[in-house]
Amino acid sequence: MYKEALRQVWAEIDMGAFDHNVKEIKKHLGDVQMIGVIKANGYGHGATECAKVLEYNGCDHYAVATLEEAVSLREDGIGGSIVVLGLTPAVCADTVVEYGITPVIMSLDYVKALGEAVAEAKKNGTFATAANCKPEEYEQKCLFALDTGMGRIGYRVFTEEERKYAAEQYKEMTKVEGVKVPGIITHFSTADEEQREYTGLQISNYNALIDLLAAEGIKPKKICANSAAIMVYPEVHFDAARPGIIMYGLAPSGYLKGKVLDLKPVMSVKAEILNLKTVPAGTSVSYGRKFTSNRESKIATIGLGYADGYTRLNSGKIEVLCGGKRCPVVGNICMDQCMVDVTEVEDVKIGDEIVVMGKQGDAEYSADDIAALNGTINYEVTCLFDLRLPKVYVNYPEGMCK
């Protein structure tokens, strides 16, 4: 039980499992550089703590979704390279330079704004707190974004005309003083699926642009592989790969679950029973009276609700573990609490531990189990639990400075 929390519900983050997963991925990638994706606060696991374990494993390249996330990591003392995978506006160019962040780019005007920000920062001496170089030597790094089939951000490269335009834009960006564009990045939309045709199309689109530049002697670093591609598309590991969900011990899809990598789930969600009562048959529970007991029942209350990411959509169909047994959550899930039928658990009492997600004895209730109930994915489940739950970090790698 977690006795130090101000609440009797928490997310337990097993840093030993995270360390194990990182080592598995690094072994699988070999000499390929690893960019650890710790966006969305490390998929709900805590970005800063995950960055520390990555650094412990010799990885000091990270990726986040927003500039705000990158700045937060810097302010927590995280050095190395931090890539922002989402687009940042020109108005934020000075912040990008000040904190030494690597943005993803698809606008020449934005790159020019970065160049101006570099010049201004060198003039004023206020920039790149994590650059590890002399101010006069600083160069702003960026990654050039391609849309090879995701349809989200980046220059489209489906046709010869589109590829020529993207190549010209890339070359123009590399001419901007104070800015370097060392790599070209894209993202796969179906690499986690059994069918390989569309990912093959995306790879062809990407390689066609790379070949166009290579014909002119231009050879940028190639950065393509997400978690799924790391697992099953070794031909696109290239210069660097960016694992995300697999670092947290979860598969990118049901198709890839249990394949290629030995992964250990990092997050568990646990709670203590706050209240326990025996009620007669015919007793209704929670808002709307959606559940009524059909027998004398033991009903436990835990302090977990939809404001904690335990969505109300789970009502009437989700289970938890108590005493090593699966027990149904009954009635509508409230904002801050929910109720569990623990009638089948012997000697249950207030203060006993409920496992909402994770293992208890031989029983397990996983992020995939929770996701399947509502037709979503394990990514969303762990991210939602980041809303309000306190985190307890356990089992750090031996010898690591926390």
Query: Which of the residues are catalytic?
Result: 39, 287
Count, residues in the chain: 402
Tokens of 330: 């009954």
Contact 202, 216 (CB under 8 A): no
Contact 236, 32 (CB under 8 A): no
DSSP reduced 3-state for 251: coil
If we measure between CA atoms, which residue out of 149, 186, 150, 146 comes closest to residue 170?
146
Residue 353 Cα to chain centre, angstroms: 27
Q: Which helix (H) or strand (E) holds 231?
A: helix 227-232
| Amino acid letter, 251 | A
Contact 100, 130 (CB under 8 A): yes
**Other Cβ atoms within 10 Å of 24 Cβ, number:** 19
Contact 49, 13 (CB under 8 A): yes
The terminus-to-terminus CA distance of the chain in angstroms comes to 22
If we measure between CA atoms, which residue out of 57, 61, 67, 96 comes closest to residue 79?
61
Query: In whole angstroms, what is the distance from residue 9 CA to residue 12 CA?
Result: 10
